[in-house]
Structure 1
C-alpha cells in the first residue's frame, strides 16, 4: 500500500521495494547494505534522506561505505552539486559545493514544499535483499502519544525552559498550546533537569522546528 501511494507522488519515477524481517524497526545496520547494493545496480548520482534521527543515523553509514563526504541539514538546493545548509546551530547559513561523484545528504523537510501526492505514475519494482548483517536486533518502540501536532512539523510551537522550575509548571504551556493548537517543546536545560522527556527537546541536540 505504501509503495502504491508513493508511486502516485509527482516527480517519482520508480519505487523500489525490499521486504524482510530484518528491516523491522528500520535499523541502519541492515538498511545500509541494501542502499549500497541498490546503488551499485542503478548508479545513482544522489542519495538523500530527511534530517531526522533516522536519516542522521543512516546517511553517514551509507556515505562511509561509499567513501564520500556527506552533506547534512540542507535547506535549499541551488544546483545538482550546490546546496545551502545551516551550521552553528542554525546561526549561520552557508552555500557549499559538493565535488563528490555521489552526493549523499540529508534535507530538512520543513524547508521544502511537499510534492503533490497525486498525478504521478511511477513504476514499482521489487528488490532482492542482501544477507542480514545481524549486528543488532529490533526489540520494541515506545512512542509518546499526544493529541497535539508533531513537534517537527507544527505550525505553532510553545516552548519552555529552566525558568518554569518544575515539570508540573509545564502544565501552563500545555494549556496554552491546546488553545493555540500548538506543539510543546523544551530547552535542553529543562530536559536535563528532568522536567520533561527528551523527545520534547528543541535545538541543536534536539528536534529541528520551523513554526
Structure 2
C-alpha cells in the first residue's frame, strides 16, 4: 500500500500541517509527497526532510498559480492510479481539491479524519463535534482530508529523493483575479501550540489589540469567535469554530467567549482551556480547566504586566 500526500505551502514555505499529515498516514504505507506550484524548490526540500517520506514529487507550472484547484486535480487524476491513498490536510486547499478529485474518480471522499484505525477505517467528528463517527470504506482507493491539528508532526532529518513531474495538457476555464492576504507574524492558527482567542465581549477592533498583545507575549496564535469576526473586530482567517478553523493546541486561552456550540466544535481538541469571563455559568466557563472570573479589561492587563515583570519578551 502506498500513500500520496498533497503538500500545503504558502509564500515558498511548507505548511506545518503537511508534517502532521505525513506522520498520520505513515502507518498506511510508504509516503510520497506531491509539491505543486511555481518556484517551490525550497518547499520540496522541506518536504524531503520529513521523517517517513519516501520521495517527493515536484511539479512546477504557471497553471498552478492561475487556477490551483483545477490544475491540481488534473495532475492528481493521472497520479492517483499509482496509490491506494491520496491525502491532504482539511484546510482550504484540501477542501477544494479532494471533493473535485473524488468526482473525477467516482469515489467517496472521507473528510475531516481525526484518527486512522486501519487501512479502511477512520474516525471523523459529526454533529458539530458532538459525536465521532467511525467510517469503514471498502473502496479500491481512499481519498482523505485530515484535521492536521489532531496529529503530531513528523520529525525532520530525512533526505528523501526529489523527482520532477511534468504537468502537461492541463487546461482550465478558471483563474485567480485577485488575492487578499492578512499579514501576521503570529504562529499558524491551525497548528499552534498556544492560542489566545477573543470574543465579541472585547467590544471593538481596538479592544482586540489586547488579545493580540497577550498572544505575542506568549508566542501564541490569535483566534476569534464568529461573532467577533462578523462584528469586524478580527479578520476572517482568525475565526475558530465549526465554520472557521479547527484547532487542537496544548493551551487555549478564551477571553470574553461565552462558548456557542459552533465555537466549542472548533476547540474540542484543546488539551487545556483557560477561560476569562464575567459569567461563571457560561458554557465555555464550565468546560474550562481554569476559570478566571472577572472583567477581561482588568484581568488581561494584569496578566500582561505579570509577564513583563517576569521578563517575558514579545
TM-based fold match above 0.5: yes
In structure 2, the CA distance between the partners of 1:169 and 1:108, relative to structure 1 (3 Å rule), is same
Q: Alpha-carbon deviations, 1:53-112, whole Å to 9, x = none?
A: 111111111111111111111111110001111122222222211121110010111222
Q: Distance in 2 between matches of 1:6 and 1:196?
A: 32
Q: Alpha-carbon deviations, 1:160-200, whole Å to 9, x = none?
A: 22222222211221222223222211111111122221111
Gaps of 5+ in 2: 1-40, 250-314
Contact kept, 8 Å, 1:89 with 1:203, in 2: the verdict is: no
The aligned runs of 1:1-211 (5 Å cut-off) are 1=41, 2-24=43-65, 27-40=68-81, 42=82, 44-120=83-159, 122-211=160-249
Alignment TM-score, normalising by the size of structure 2? 0.62
CA shift, 1:24, in A, is 1.7
Q: Distance in 2 between matches of 1:128 and 1:119?
A: 25
Q: Which has the higher contact order (CA 8 A, sep 6+)?
A: 1
Alignment TM-score, normalising by the size of structure 1? 0.90
Aligned length: 208
Moved more, 133-142 or 59-68: 133-142
**Deviating runs (4+, > 4 A) in structure 1?**
none
Alignment match, 2:24:
none
CA shift, 1:140, in A, is 4.2
CA shift, 1:142, in A, is 3.1
Q: Distance in 1 between matches of 2:231 and 2:47?
A: 42
Q: Distance in 2 between matches of 1:52 and 1:24?
A: 18
| 3-state SS of 2:99 partner | helix
In structure 2, the CA distance between the partners of 1:13 and 1:178, relative to structure 1 (3 Å rule), is closer
Bigger Rg over Cα: 2
Contact kept, 8 Å, 1:33 with 1:130, in 2: the verdict is: no
Q: Distance in 2 between matches of 1:188 and 1:53?
A: 17
| 3-state SS of 1:13 partner | strand
